[in-house]
Structure 1
Amino acid sequence: MSAVTLVKTNFPLYTVNVLDTNHFIVAGGGGSAKTGVPNALQVFKLDYGSKAITAKKVHEHDSERKAIMNSAVHPKEKCLAVGKDEECHLLTVDIKLKTSVDKTKQDKSDDAEYEVSLLRSETSVKSLDKDNEGDFQKVVRFSNNGEHIVTGGSNGYVCIFKYPELSCVHEFKAHETDVDDLDIHPNGKRFVTVSRDTKAFVWKLEEGKREFELFYSGPNEDENEDSFRIRACRFLTNEKGETFLYTIQVPAKFDRQKPLPSFIVRWDCSKWIPQLSRDAGREPLTQMAVSDQGRYVAVGTASGSIAVYIAWNLTPLVSIQRVHNIFVTGLSFLPPSPALENAGKEFGLLTISADNSCKLVTLDNRKEFGIVWIIIGSVFLLYLTFLALSYFGFDV
């Protein structure tokens, strides 16, 4: 496993998304304060070279006075939903060359220019207290069919919008404080929200009504539901078509003298109960991602470390310490592709941080032995055992 720096920016990064097998975006900035740190969204093209995978910036979108802090990609259209303070903006991300570029050089020219245009913007997260200007959108998600956008805010509110008209179908206070994360079930009927108030709920999307509360008490008898809170959540559908909810549980209160571990938990989506958990160490987890084919779960930590687990049994696969200088702010797996396979990589994981860097974590393809070779090896081992026993005079 290795980690290489793909991108260094002049602003802190807070969100990363894969657009297709060859393009991804990063965004962030210094916010509205006049610090001289820009607010921007950048589009990069991946180059799967013979020796290394690199990235080249092909477009930069100036987000002016407001930093883009969260984003989501439409599953079917060339559209991004991004959070800028209390607003949710829609951006078209049409990866194409400008008409001024010679079409005969589209795939060869290093000077090719790409185009990303602003579609429109609407306010999606609102505070009931009109005088409170500190509220902001913390998370945004598209449903799998692309028909809904769900946002969560620092004021605990959730908004459900119909896409593309962006009409608000439901707006309600889901939590007492920040909605730290949310994710929508692949069937589009339910979504899950998690909060700093230690609560986690399952909601009916169409009705905007709460259906279940998620409880996790930890592995020890002396711990209770209030010992941990869910920091992030992701639905994952495996190769068998089974859907599970994965969450990262962190201590509700951090105690430097006696720190509790963080956990990765898999939930049964039919009963909404914990099905499997894995101790992920004493370092607080900050981010989570799942791979497209449902094989891997990745987590990032407060110290900038990265770990990847096998999804079906949560067995640790690989871990790299201090990939970033400070906490991880975003993770996103590259989709499986012939280019990634030809590069000899089992997976590619984009990871960003407020240290202004985007890095690529990869794992070389592991050698897998077929059943025939396993049988041959077993027979050969038995043969050597009989030889050894005969040599030492045992009657075999």
Structure 2
Amino acid sequence: MAPNRKNIEDILARVNFPLYTVQLLTPRHVIVGGGGGTSKTGVANGFEIFELSHNGRKFLAEEVTRHETGGNVVMNCSTYSDNRHTYLVAGQESHCQLYNVNSVLVKEQKVVENGLNSDLKQRKPKAKEKTDANENVQKKLKFVITPADSVQTDFQQPEPLCRVVRMHHNGKLLATGGTDGKIKLWKFPGLEPLVTLKAHEKEIDDIDFSKYDNYLCTIAKDGLAIIWDAVKGKQLRKLSWKQPNGSKYLYKRCRFGVIEGANQKCAVYTLTNPTGLAKRQKAYLQQWLPEDGLLKKVAEFDESVSALAVRDDGRFLAVGTMFSGSVSIYAAFSLQRILNVPGAHSMFVTGLEFLPASQENENHTVCSVAEAAVLSISVDNQVCIHTLPYRKTMPLWAGLVILIFTLFLTFVFCSYIDL
């Protein structure tokens, strides 16, 4: 049974607006977005970027950049970085807004914490925190977010809305979906229209590209999940399953991953929630094979689910719930739950994002020795992180020694009782 960890998650940061989207900007920088909308509520709209670190006991987050978007709430975003450029795209009302993100070194006065309430020890400056000749001044990495092109992606009246934006992993393709049920593919970063897929009859809920194939998955409120060839713009198949007791389910989220140990074999994961008379029934996390549309594995939930993430190496999944605000981590291959954080947020989970696996040690995540770490956000204005401690396994030689010793004791005991 998976361990429960109630109310011991680390709250990394609190912002002054509801949060709807979270993405990694770099392996150590996370960007969150949200806001209070266009009405005059006094609640800001925009982004905040935090730098993540680990002090040996827990994760820490330091705000490095804040960018407000005026009257446009940020409901979704996607990022892409290469060796030269970092881009951010965000759905804002009926448009998809492109931002250029540039890193800069800024001189800041060094803060030295003293007193009984501080548990931080003075540390050497990081490489990106180069100390000047004056020891009290240091250079810190910050980001400048600059608006660039903007294109209208949804025309559904009376309130067009860009519901989802998603960057392809190669940085050359962008997909958007809105309330009109259409999927639009754009050349990136020029935002030149390529093709419009008449995909669904109702508004789009989620889109995702596969990493190693040309698959695109789309889901919408018409109850359909469709696999496409993203290059040809051709529908390949619809995902279908026998729903329990003839009830009606709607797909909520979709994410591609890689099945561990299967030579980069692609899998797509979906969240489905019951609707109407079926609301008291289970919600599901599902694993599919996109090449044939077969449903392979299923995990159940006692409440509706709202957020889904897959780690970059495909080993772990994270799921956030609607009513209890809980977060769970699953082994992607088996869909076995290995960590449960009940009540991680006071309201429903709106977004999840894994820290990537460390390149130095694939069994660790960046910044710490945890086996996995996932960020979660909610409309409760909080950014939290949940870690899976590294599960040490017994060496083979130790197992053999124990087995031989057990057999020896068994032989001695049998000889003693003349068996």
Q: CA deviation at 1:292?
A: 0.9
- How many positions carry a matched residue from both structures? 384
- Structure 1 residue 229, shift from structure 2 partner: 2.2
| Structure 1 partner of 2:9 | 3
**1:267 match: secondary structure:** strand
Q: Where does 1:105-124 land on structure 2 (aligned, <5 Å)?
A: 106-107=129-130, 112=140, 114-124=142-152
- Note the C-alpha offset of 1:98: 4.0
Q: What does the per-residue CA deviation read over 1:324-350, in whole Å, with 9 as the maximum and x for residues that have no partner?
A: 001000000001235946732111100
Structure 1 counterpart of 2:97, from 89, 99, 103: 89
Q: Please list, as runs of the form range in 1=range in 2, the aligned pairs for 1:338-353 lying within 5 A after superposition.
A: 340=365, 343-353=368-378
Cα offset, 1:113, TM superposition: 6.2
Distance 2:285 2:224 in 1: 17
CA contact (8 A) 1:277 1:314 kept: yes
Shift of 1:51: 2.3
Instruction: Sort the Cα spacing of 1:213 and 1:356 in 2 relative to 1 into closer, same or farther, 3 A.
Output: same
Flag structure 2 segments of 5+ consecutive residues without an equivalent. Answer: 111-124, 132-136
**Aligned CA-pair RMSD:** 2.4
Secondary structure of the residue aligned to 1:116 is strand
Which of 308, 323, 332 does residue 344 from structure 2 map onto? 323
2:375 partner SS: strand
Counterpart pick for 1:41 among 34, 41, 47: 47
Would the alpha carbon gap of residues 113 and 379 (structure 1) be closer, same or farther in structure 2, given more than 3 Å must change?
Answer: closer
For 1:40-189, list aligned pairs within 5 A: 40-76=46-82, 77-98=85-106, 106-107=129-130, 112=140, 114-127=142-155, 129=156, 132-187=157-212, 189=214
Residue identity in the other structure for 1:64: G
**Offset at residue 195 of structure 1 (A):** 1.0
Deviations 1:127-184 (A, max 9, x none): 1x5xx24221111111121111001112212111001110111224321212111111
1-side partners of 2:190 and 2:221: how far apart? 31
- SS of 1:381's partner is helix
Q: Name 2:27's counterpart in structure 1.
A: 21
Aligned to 2:271: 248
CA contact (8 A) 1:90 1:119 kept: yes
Name the residue aligned to 2:310. 290
Structure 1 residue identity aligned to 2:181: G
Aligned equivalents of 1:107 and 1:42: distance in 2?
Answer: 23
Give the letter for the 1:52 counterpart. Answer: K
CA contact (8 A) 1:145 1:188 kept: no
Instruction: Measure the CA separation in 2 of the matches of 1:215 and 1:107.
Output: 56
Answering whether residue 59 of structure 2 is matched by residue 31 of structure 1, we say no
Distance 1:100 1:57, change over 3 A: closer
Determine the C-alpha separation between the residues in 1 that align with 2:198 and 2:256: 23
| Distance in 2 between residues matched to 1:255 and 1:217, nearest whole Å | 14
**Matched-pair contact (CA < 8 Å) for 2:283–2:302:** yes
CA drift of 1:382 comes to 2.1
* Deviation (angstroms), 1:91: 1.4
Determine if contact 1:16/1:71 at 8 Å carries over to the other structure.
Answer: yes
C-alpha change, 1:7 and 1:368, in structure 2 (3 Å) is same
Cross-structure match for 2:328: 307
Deviations 1:211-234 (CA, angstroms, capped at 9, x unpaired): 21110224x5x34xx632221111
1:383 counterpart SS class: helix
Out of 102-111 and 298-307, give the one that drifted further: 102-111
* Structure 1 residue ranges, 4+ long, deviating more than 6 angstroms after superposition: 99-105
Measure the CA separation in 2 of the matches of 1:316 and 1:78. 35
Kept in 1: contact 2:87–2:100 (CA 8 A): yes
For structure 1, the 5+ residue unaligned runs are none
1:336 maps to which of 347, 357, 362 = 357
- SS class of match (2:302): coil
Tell me the TM-score normalised to structure 2 length. Answer: 0.85
Give, in whole Å, the separation in 2 of the partners of 1:22 and 1:341: 8
Deviates more, 1:60-69 or 1:370-379: 370-379
Task: State the alpha-carbon separation in 2 of the partners of residues 68 and 82 from structure 1.
Answer: 7
Deviation at 1:261, TM superposition (A): 0.9
TM-score (norm 1): 0.90
Alignment partners' CA distance in 2, 1:182 and 1:342? 29
Distance 1:294 1:390, change over 3 A: same
Structure-1 separation of matches of 2:109 and 2:98: 26
Paired amino acid for 2:339: V
Q: Percent identity?
A: 29
